[in-house]
Amino acid sequence: MREPISDFYAVIPAGGIGSRLWPLSRADAPKFLHDLTGSGQSLLRDTWDRIEPLAGHDRIAVVTGRAHRAAVEAQLPGIPDRNVFLESEPRESAAAIGLAAAILHRREPDVIIGSFSADHVIRSTRKFEFAVRDAVEVARQGFIVTIGITPTEPAVGFGYIKQGEELDVDGVREASLVERFVEKPDLATAKTYYEDRSYLWNAGMFISRADVLLAELERHQPALHAGLLELAEAWDDRDRRGAVVDRVWPALPKIAIDYAVAEPAAEGGRLAVVPGHFDWDDVGDFASLTKLILNGRKNDLAVLGPSARVLSDAASGILVSQTSRVISLVGVQDIVVVDTPDALLVTTIEHAQRVKGVVESLKLNGRGDVL
């Protein structure tokens, strides 16, 4: 085991609900609090465990909503209070990661930060660690660095990163500039990307010096940058923090870090990518969750939750059970059944992406109580 990286701080934005995993994921039980892999612990805890050898126990910050504070602290017992950054309301990823960058930079001007989603799944921890260590070395050169996953199939559910000019950084096996980002492609395009080999999946991981990230934000999102500095300046003063957060945070621009930082930095030749040769999934919907659980098994039924009460006959797909009911699935193929105490979803793997629409309809129908 190598030592943690001494000037590195990990940031875990734990914000997204995971609407396409409704009714499993909810506002009060977001995706990152669930055990979706059968590991026996939440995705948030898995993320923490994966990062701890790189950053050290006391150098992992979590940015999350006030409502999730107790749940997060229960998942991460012993996390220092100073490493829990609470949002008064969701303001998207640029604000969340930018806040962490601003606070940590104020505490430690030369710090290198790495942000890692709280609800992604990575199993090959060793390869992940290699990639992050390489990314940190590239970040030392003044780049913002992302880790792009080497595709294992022509996926249409992820964005892609086109690798550009190679970078030669001491002790780093592979790194290059990012030529451009591309949004989720159609299947034909995804196939050309997959064949091409110079495209990687965009896994939304960013590693950079905090000052470099803040400079990039200042260049493209000056209002956001100014607000974040004001927040950071007051943050460690318990008497002032609350009032400043209440005033400044809700007025911050809502923008994803991809648009606020990554794309403009790529255009300016300041974004690098280190290929990650490990399995990775953002488990964005029930199709992806099914694949993850079945792990290559075809025509089988993935069961999440106690399975003793399930009676399945010629059924495939996924069953998520959060109740003590007897559940019987008969002759249903590629089905998605999510059984929770107050909501039931029945759909198919094919229609997994439409679940987000259900959530929107329920919102319109005044059923926020089950969201």
243 binds a copy of itself (CB under 8 A): no
Q: Of 33, 15, 205, 78, nearest to 129 (Cα)?
A: 205
Contact, 304 vs 321, CB < 8 A? yes
Binding residues for a copy of itself, rule CB under 8 A, total: 37
- Binds a copy of itself (CB under 8 A): choice among 84, 256, 294, 370: 370
- Binds a copy of itself (CB under 8 A): choice among 171, 296, 331, 366: 331
CA distance 109 to 211: 7
Segment lying near a copy of itself (by CB under 8 A), choices 162-170, 272-280, 295-303, 325-333? 325-333
Q: 207 phi and psi, to 5 degrees?
A: -125, 130
In the complex, the smallest distance separating the C-beta of residue 191 from a copy of itself, rounded to whole angstroms, is: 25
Q: What is the DSSP letter of 90?
A: -
- Binds a copy of itself (CB under 8 A): choice among 102, 136, 231, 343: 343
* Residue-level length of the chain: 371
Q: Residue written as tokens 């390869």?
A: 127
Using CB under 8 A as the binding rule, the residues of this chain from 345 to 364 that contact a copy of itself are: 345-348, 350-351, 354-355, 357-358, 361-362
24 binds a copy of itself (CB under 8 A): no
325 binds a copy of itself (CB under 8 A): yes
Within its chain, how far is the Cα of 112 from the centroid? 19
Contact, 289 vs 338, CB < 8 A? no
Residue (235 or 286) nearer to a copy of itself, CB: 286
Tokens of 65: 């909503």
In the complex, the smallest distance separating the C-beta of residue 307 from a copy of itself, rounded to whole angstroms, is: 13
Q: 22 phi and psi, to 5 degrees?
A: -65, 145
Phi-psi region at 334: left, alpha or beta (left = phi > 0; alpha = psi -120 to 50): left
327 binds a copy of itself (CB under 8 A): yes
332 binds a copy of itself (CB under 8 A): yes
In one-letter notation, the amino acid at residue 148 is: G
Segment lying near a copy of itself (by CB under 8 A), choices 127-135, 174-182, 291-299, 307-315? 307-315
- Binds a copy of itself (CB under 8 A): choice among 166, 251, 328, 363: 328
Q: Where are the beta strands (DSSP E) in 79-125?
A: 84-87, 112-115
* Contacts with a copy of itself, residue ranges (CB under 8 A): 23, 311, 313-315, 324-332, 335, 337, 339-348, 350-351, 354-355, 357-358, 361-362, 365, 367, 370
